[in-house]
Amino acid sequence: MDRRYTETIKINNVNMGSKHPVVIQSMTNTPTADIEASIKQIKELEDAGSELIRLTVNDYEAMEAIPKIAETLRSDGYTAPLIGDFHYNGHILLAKYPESARYLDKYRINPGNVGKKDKHDSNFSQMIEIALKNDKPVRIGVNGGSLDQELLTELMTKNAAEADPKDAQEIFAEAMIQSALRSAAFARKIGMPKNKLILSVKMSDVQHMVDVYQKLAERCDYALHLGLTEAGSSMKGVAASSAALAILLQQGIGDTIRISLTPEPGKSRAEEVNACKALLQSMGLRFFMPMVTSCPGCGRTNSDKFVYLAQDITNYIEQNMKTWKQKYPGVETLTIAVMGCVVNGPGESKQADIGISLPGSSEAPSIPVYQDGDLLTVLKGDDIKDQFITILNTYIEKRYSLVKTPS
Ligand code: SF4
């Protein structure tokens, strides 16, 4: 069942909602006041495929940097909408720097830290009014680590007085949901249209996060931004985020996603964008580049030739994708199999658009190549990679070329 938002939310050139693909979002980790470093990283994220880019806006210097960052990016041809991430002092910054407020394309407000008691409502409404004046969408981003403590205490106290009190985790989830829904209702009361609001309820535990989003999706029809917050680094972060996001996306929940990875020294921030692309493509929700299916190898193969071939083909695709995207529309849906032996090699190769099945340890040294399910040729010799790349290029040219070559 598709529970995505049925209208369209427009954030400059990006459309969000059930009629559009799930949007990929990322966030910089440079100090926003460091204009040069921020611009460099935003370009890196957009080049990798991030469609929305969020920046911390935590002080005067960060807010002052926004116009320069946005102007430079736009004049250099970068178009991804820029989102200001506000905590504690967003109402002050947005009011004090109207020009920067206009340059930002969307605001993120965390209702857990816009102020306490009577300050909460006035600070929150001040930000919503500025968003309305500038015609900007807003994400109400609730986070398990900064949940509105007054609301949590209110619900916990009420629960404790019940004859049969619920589990504390259940109340925590309810507080997350109520924080998002009450804030959205308040924003709507001030005048914010529904198609300018996006909600999120991020948590760091996979099961809790899935549960809270499922409940939120059942109780509202707002656009939802998905993310497992504080997911961790590298393999653990990607695995945990993919597990959580895949369950929800499969249930038709989520209009935009971010995979929040703890940065690894020396690695690009764009890893989080690549992880989002890999997740969406693995689920068949979006296509970014031809997918290489390769087997893990086992004792049936005594050489790592197919491992290198799979890597070489992946590298070849990455190197050529920019040109292919212009020349060969639809090439991103191509599937390629690179397999290690006769057990699954021919089968997987036939299912792919193009597949190559290298011989296992006890097999004859001939290498069948399949195209559209049929045996195309059998390769021999030492230049298998070059021969296979030639076949691949011919196939792509024939199938995806804008100007069809005569058959
Ligand atoms: S295709 Fe062959 S080499 Fe690859 S994992 Fe399967 S049995 Fe092993």
Per-residue pLDDT tens listing for the chain (407 residues): 678 999 999 999 999 999 999 999 999 999 999 999 999 999 999 999 999 999 999 999 999 999 999 999 999 999 999 999 999 999 999 999 999 999 999 999 999 999 988 899 999 999 999 999 999 999 999 999 999 999 999 999 999 999 999 999 999 999 999 999 999 999 999 999 999 999 999 999 999 999 999 999 999 999 999 999 988 888 999 999 999 999 999 999 999 999 999 998 889 999 999 999 999 999 999 999 999 999 999 999 878 888 999 999 999 999 999 999 999 999 999 999 999 999 999 999 999 999 999 998 888 888 999 999 999 999 998 899 999 999 999 999 999 997 665 65
Chain center to CA of 197 = 19
**What pLDDT sits at residue 80?**
98
- Quickly name the fold that domain 291-400 has: Sulfite Reductase Hemoprotein; domain 1 (3.30.413)
143 strand-pairing partners: 202
Chain center to CA of 317 = 21
Domain boundaries along the sequence of the chain: 9-282, 291-400
Which atom of ligand 1 is least distant from the CA of 341? 2
Residue identifier of the C-alpha nearest atom 2 of ligand 1: 341
Chain position carrying tokens 């403590």: 149
Nearest-angstrom CA–CA distance, 321 and 59: 40
On whether the CB atoms of residues 13 and 81 are closer than 8 A, the answer is: yes
On whether the CB atoms of residues 339 and 295 are closer than 8 A, the answer is: yes
R_g of the chain, CA atoms, integer Å: 25
Q: How far is the CA of 351 from the centre of ligand 1 (A)?
A: 16
Q: Alpha carbon of 96 to those of 99, 111, 131: distances in Å? A: 9, 20, 14
Do the first three CATH levels of 9-282 and 291-400 match, i.e. the same topology?
Answer: no
Best mutation site among 292, 293, 294, 298 for ligand 1, i.e. most ligand atoms within 8 A of its Cβ?
Answer: 298
On whether the CB atoms of residues 339 and 357 are closer than 8 A, the answer is: yes
Q: What is the CATH number of domain 9-282?
A: 3.20.20.20
Q: Is 307 in the pocket of ligand 1 (CB under 6 A)?
A: no
**Other residues' Cβ atoms within 10 Å of the Cβ of residue 189:** 10
- Give residue 364's identity as a one-letter amino acid code: A
Q: What are phi and psi of 197, to 5 degrees?
A: -120, 135
**What pLDDT sits at residue 246?**
98
Q: How far is the CA of 387 from the centre of ligand 1 (A)?
A: 22
pTM: 0.94
Q: Is 359 in the pocket of ligand 1 (CB under 6 A)?
A: no
- Give residue 12's identity as a one-letter amino acid code: N
H-helix or E-strand spanning residue 47: helix 35-48
**What pLDDT sits at residue 304?**
85
Which atom of ligand 1 is least distant from the CA of 296? 5
| DSSP-derived 3-state class of residue 200 | strand
Q: Is 194 in the pocket of ligand 1 (CB under 6 A)?
A: no
**What pLDDT sits at residue 68?**
98
Which atom of ligand 1 is least distant from the CA of 342? 2
